C-alpha cells in the first residue's frame, strides 16, 4: 500500500521534537495536555488515539508511541486533567470516567478529526468505550489492551489488592531484570505524580474502575460496525485472564489475543507488543475490506 504523506517539510521534526510540543486544551475548568506525533510517511490517514490507564500519561508510553509512529501511524495521546468541574450526568456513566471520555472527544473536536482508531490500556478501555458509545461514528477500530471493566462484577478493595500485587511484581522485576528498570521507574514516577496531584480524584477514579463493566458497551459498539479486539496478558494480576475469558464472548468481538506477560508489558516491552497492536489494527481493516466485497 502506498503511504499517505503529510505535507512535506525540509528538516522534518524528529519524534523527540514532536513529543516535546505539548498542546493544551481546556475542559470543564481543567486542562488536558496532548501529544501528536506525525511520522513523515503515514500508511493511513486515520490517526491512532492512545488512551492511557489510571496513573498513566504519554510519558509512560513514550517508547510505545515512538514505535507505533515508526510503524507509520500518526499517534495522539493525552494527559488527563487533574482539576476542574464534574461533567453533567449522562446515562449511568460514572462522572470521573465520563470526564475522561469527554477529554478523548475534545481531542477530536480541537484537532478537527472525523474518525479515529483507538488503542486503550487498562482504565483507558472504560473511558474509550464510553466515548465511542456517545459518538460511535467517530470510531473505526478499538484495540483494548489489558482492559478494565471486562472481568464481571468487581469490588474496590479487591481491585486495590490486585493493583498492589502488580506494584510488587514490578519491583521484583526491576531487581531480576535490570533492562526493565527504566520503563518501570518512569511508570512509577508518573503514577506517583498523578496520585499526588489530586488524591481524592485518583481515589474516585479507582472506585469507578471497580464499579464499571463495559461488556455490554463493547457488544453494542461491535454490532454498530466498530472493529474491536482485545490483547491480554496471561499473567495480568490486575485483571485476571481467567475472569476475562469467562466474561468476553469471542463472537461479540473481532479478535482476542492471549499473550505472554502481565499488565505492564505494553510499555515495558513495547518492541514486542506495539507491533502486535499494529497487526491487530491491520487485521480489523482487512476484515472490513473483505466485508465490503
Report if residue 173 sits inside a domain.
yes
What pLDDT digit, counting tens, does each position of 3-35 carry?
445 555 568 999 999 999 999 999 999 999 999
What pLDDT digit, counting tens, does each position of 44-70 carry?
999 999 999 999 999 999 999 999 999
Report if residue 2 sits inside a domain.
no
Which residue is listed with cell 496532548? 34
Rg (the chain; Cα; Å): 18
The pLDDT score that the predictor gives to residue 162 is 84
Task: Please name the residue ranges forming H helices in the chain.
Answer: 15-20, 62-70, 95-110, 124-134, 156-176, 181-197, 199-211, 215-223, 241-247, 265-268, 270-292
Determine contact, residues 116/139, Cβ cutoff 8 Å: yes
Report if residue 27 sits inside a domain.
yes
Report if residue 5 sits inside a domain.
no
Report if residue 166 sits inside a domain.
yes
Confidence band for 159, pLDDT divided at 50, 70 and 90:
confident
Res 284 pLDDT > 70: yes
d(CA 212, CA 93): 8
What residues contact 101, with CB distance under 8 A and at least 6 apart?
Answer: 93, 127, 128, 130, 131, 134
Determine contact, residues 55/194, Cβ cutoff 8 Å: yes
Domain that holds residue 176: 15-292
d(CA 283, CA 278): 9
- pLDDT more than 90, % of the chain: 70
SS3 257: strand
The pLDDT score that the predictor gives to residue 142 is 98
Highest mean pLDDT among 16-20, 149-153, 163-167, 184-188: 16-20
Report if residue 200 sits inside a domain.
yes
SS3 198: coil
d(CA 59, CA 74): 17
| Residue in 27, 19, 28 with CA at minimum distance from that of residue 77 | 19
d(CA 203, CA 148): 16
Report if residue 3 sits inside a domain.
no
Domain count, the chain: 1
Mean pLDDT of the chain: 90
Please give the DSSP secondary-structure letter assigned to residue 4.
B
Report if residue 7 sits inside a domain.
no
Res 278 pLDDT > 70: yes
d(CA 181, CA 204): 29
The pLDDT score that the predictor gives to residue 1 is 36
For residue 172, give the CATH number of its domain: 3.40.50.1820
The pLDDT score that the predictor gives to residue 187 is 80
d(CA 33, CA 22): 6
- C-beta neighbour count of 1 within 10 angstroms: 8
Amino acid at each position: 500500500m502506498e503511504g499517505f504523506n503529510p505535507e512535506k517539510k525540509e528538516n522534518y521534526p524528529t519524534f523527540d521534537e514532536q513529543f516535546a510540543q505539548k498542546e493544551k486544551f481546556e475542559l470543564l475548568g481543567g486542562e488536558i495536555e496532548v501529544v501528536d506525533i506525525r511520522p513523515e510517511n503515514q500508511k493511513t490517514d486515520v490517526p491512532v488515539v492512545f488512551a492511557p490507564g489510571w496513573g498513566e500519561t504519554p510519558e509512560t508510553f513514550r517508547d510505545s508511541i515512538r514505535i507505533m509512529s515508526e510503524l507509520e501511524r500518526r499517534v495522539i495521546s493525552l494527559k488527563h486533567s487533574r482539576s476542574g468541574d464534574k461533567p453533567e450526568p449522562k446515562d449511568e456513566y460514572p462522572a470521573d470516567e465520563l470526564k475522561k471520555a469527554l477529554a478523548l472527544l475534545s481531542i477530536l473536536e480541537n484537532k478537527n478529526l472525523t474518525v479515529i482508531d483507538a488503542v486503550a490500556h487498562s482504565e483507558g478501555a472504560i473511558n474509550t468505550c464510553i466515548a465511542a458509545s456517545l459518538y460511535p461514528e467517530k470510531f473505526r477500530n478499538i484495540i483494548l489492551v489489558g482492559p478494565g471493566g471486562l472481568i464481571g462484577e468487581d469490588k474496590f478493595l479487591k481491585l486495590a489488592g490486585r493493583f498492589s500485587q502488580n506494584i510488587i511484581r514490578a519491583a521484583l522485576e526491576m531487581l531480576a531484570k535490570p533492562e526493565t528498570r527504566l520503563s518501570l521507574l518512569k511508570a512509577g514516577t508518573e503514577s506517583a505524580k498523578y496520585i499526588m496531584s489530586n488524591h481524592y480524584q485518583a481515589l474516585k477514579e479507582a472506585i469507578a474502575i471497580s464499579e464499571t463493566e463495559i461488556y455490554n458497551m463493547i457488544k453494542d459498539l461491535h454490532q454498530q460496525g466498530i472493529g474491536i479486539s482485545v490483547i491480554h496478558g496471561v499473567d495480568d494480576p490486575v485483571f485476571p485472564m481467567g475472569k476475562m475469558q469467562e466474561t468476553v464472548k469471542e463472537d461479540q468481538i473481532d479478535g482476542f489475543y492471549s499473550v505472554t506477560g502481565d499488565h505492564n508489558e505494553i510499555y515495558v516491552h513495547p518492541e514486542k507488543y506495539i507491533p502486535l497492536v499494529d497487526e491487530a489494527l491491520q487485521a480489523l481493516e482487512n476484515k472490513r475490506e473483505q466485508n465490503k466485497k
